[in-house]
Amino acid sequence: MPKPASLDPKEQLSERGSKRWLLNVPRHLSPTGQRQRLFFRTRDQAREHAKKLKAKEGTGRSVIEQQAIDMAIAKLDPIGATLMQAVDFYVEHMRRQNLSATVTHAIEAWTAACVRRGLSERTQRDYLRTMRGIEKHTTGDSKLVNLTTEDLAQILDKTGQGKVSWQLQYRNLRAFWNWASKKGWCDKETFERVDKMPTPVKEAPETLTPKQCKALLDAAERNHSDCVAALAIAMYGGVRMAELRCLEWADVKNGYLAVPAIASKKKRRRALKISEPLSHWISKYSAKKGPICPSGWEQKWNAIRQLAGWRVKSSLLQSSPKNTAPIWPQNALRHTAASARIALGDNPRELVVELGHSEQTLFSHYVDAYSKSDAAKLFRFAPDGKILPRLKVA
């Protein structure tokens, strides 16, 4: 607080020689915020004005400060808020602004965290799509805490086309937002207020018929024999394609295929018992060592599917798939293997372990999704067009 001003009037002569009294007003007492030189005809007038200024100095506020306070109170009155409430609100607002991260920084940190957690490439791609949706809707230097519930809803509507896609983007954005909220970068409640779309009805998983599976095996044997074993492992073992790419022939031994934790989607090691038909395919087409998926697997696998009649384009083939050809169902081989093995009467508890599913998912997805006769037919296919003896179906 400034020192109390003396405010003693000083006698002074004007240019015309008349007597007047000068009062030097310091900045903190001036209504303009600047020093003032005031002149009065009499000493009493100067002293009276100085007395008023000293009374205001006793409040600890300058005139200009008091004016600002009065203006603030006048603006707060209509909404029923006090000056202290406004100050508390602003202090909290600035605290959250300072704690929050920019959108760019938050996305970079989240992406790095996904890599450290060892998430699959497919999951990382899904998250990346969601993050791009956030970037398109905002500027990189925007603070995460400033995104509103309406902003998040618009991001979901723009990135999630269709009910299934919307649900995926919702889960991805929720995971990112909850992670960021734990760091103090945003409010968890902001996302919780987003209206959730009704959960889509889950139909039975799309599977391949025995005829379609036979066409795939035949196309592989005729054109890309180095891919046959990998295809058979996916078709009869139900191994996820992302897991298949990580497997080595050293993982096949003693009648089991071990899926290492680093390759597994759930990051838990599991072992699959090699069925009779799968043992025949492995026996003939195993490379004995190295990766199970050969070099150039992606394009070879695309070519096999295109040759088998699916609408999948491979750079290895000059022709394009027919527009009338069916679209390849997602996770088709895994769904086929699980459904067929359930139909054949395999022990559900063993399947839960081998497939890496929960028991609830196993029963809700795969029970009655495949007929016993089709499952028996599928499990009789062998290399070179041979047919194994008929299976005894439970």
Residue 25 in any domain: the answer is yes
For the record, the structure tokens of 382 come out as 């062998």
> How many domains are there within the chain?
3
Using CA atoms in the order 203, 207, 246, 127, what is the torsion angle rounded to 10 degrees?
-30
Q: Of 192, 222, 244, at which residue does a domain stop?
A: 192
Given this model, what pLDDT does residue 203 score? 65
Instruction: Over range 257-275, report the average pLDDT.
Output: 77
Given this model, what pLDDT does residue 375 score? 93
Residue 301 in any domain: the answer is yes
SS3 102: strand
Same domain, 371 and 243: yes
Same domain, 162 and 291: no
Residue 340 in any domain: the answer is yes
Same domain, 138 and 262: no
Q: Of 159, 192, 225, at which residue does a domain stop?
A: 192
Q: Is the pLDDT confidence value at 82 over 50?
A: yes
Same domain, 251 and 358: yes
Residue 72 in any domain: the answer is no
How far apart, in whole angstroms, are the C-alpha atoms of residue 204 and residue 369? 6
Q: Do the Cβ atoms of 15 and 23 come closer than 8 Å?
A: no
Residue 249 in any domain: the answer is yes
Given this model, what pLDDT does residue 196 score? 80
- Which of 2-16, 216-230, 374-388 bottoms out in mean pLDDT, i.e. has the lowest? 2-16
Instruction: Give Rg (Cα) of the chain.
Output: 38
For the record, the structure tokens of 125 come out as 């791609």
Same domain, 115 and 33: no
Same domain, 187 and 215: no
Given this model, what pLDDT does residue 4 score? 54
Bigger pLDDT: 204 vs 173: 173
Given this model, what pLDDT does residue 262 score? 62
Given this model, what pLDDT does residue 383 score? 96
Residue 86 in any domain: the answer is no
Domain that holds residue 55: 10-60
Mean pLDDT estimate for the chain: 86
For the record, the structure tokens of 391 come out as 């299976």
Q: Can you give 235-299 as a three-state secondary structure string?
A: HHHCCCHHHHCCCEHHHEECCEEEECCCCCCCCCCEEEECCHHHHHHHHHHCCCCCECCCCCHHH
Q: What is the CATH number of the domain that holds 295?
A: 1.10.443.10
Place of tokens 């409040």: 59
Same domain, 264 and 350: yes
Q: Do the Cβ atoms of 268 and 261 come closer than 8 Å?
A: yes
Q: What is the CATH number of the domain that holds 179?
A: 1.10.150
Q: Is the pLDDT confidence value at 380 over 90?
A: yes
Same domain, 228 and 281: yes
How far apart, in whole angstroms, are the C-alpha atoms of residue 134 and residue 129? 9
105-139 tens-digit pLDDT:
999 999 999 998 888 778 888 899 899 888 888 88
How far apart, in whole angstroms, are the C-alpha atoms of residue 62 and residue 27? 8
Residue 76 in any domain: the answer is no
- Which of 59-68, 210-219, 312-321, 351-360 bottoms out in mean pLDDT, i.e. has the lowest? 59-68
Given this model, what pLDDT does residue 1 score? 46
Same domain, 158 and 276: no
26-74 tens-digit pLDDT:
877 777 667 888 888 899 998 888 888 777 665 555 566 777 778 888 8
Given this model, what pLDDT does residue 394 score? 45
Residue 30 in any domain: the answer is yes
Same domain, 49 and 138: no
How far, CA to CA in Å, does 3 sit from each of 7, 59, 64, 164, 168?
12, 13, 17, 71, 66
Given this model, what pLDDT does residue 202 score? 59
Give me the helix-helix angle, 332-343 and 359-366, nearest 10°.
Answer: 90
Q: Do the Cβ atoms of 159 and 169 come closer than 8 Å?
A: yes
Given this model, what pLDDT does residue 294 score? 95
Given this model, what pLDDT does residue 298 score? 94
Given this model, what pLDDT does residue 265 score? 62
Q: Residue 191's closest CA among 199, 200, 183, 180? A: 180
Residue partners of 270: CB distance under 8 A and separation at least 6:
258, 259, 264, 353, 354, 356
How far apart, in whole angstroms, are the C-alpha atoms of residue 122 and residue 163? 20
How far apart, in whole angstroms, are the C-alpha atoms of residue 3 and residue 53? 13
325-371 tens-digit pLDDT:
999 998 899 999 988 998 898 887 888 778 776 667 777 777 777 89
How far apart, in whole angstroms, are the C-alpha atoms of residue 36 and residue 250? 92
Same domain, 366 and 228: yes
Same domain, 381 and 250: yes
Alpha helices in 17-148 (DSSP H): 43-57, 63-76, 83-99, 103-116, 121-137
How far apart, in whole angstroms, are the C-alpha atoms of residue 105 and residue 227? 42
Q: Is the pLDDT confidence value at 393 over 60?
A: no
Most confident of 11-20, 256-265, 274-283: 274-283
Determine how many CB atoms are found less than 10 A away from the CB of residue 12: 12
Residue 256 phi/psi, 5° resolution? Answer: -130, 155
Given this model, what pLDDT does residue 198 score? 61
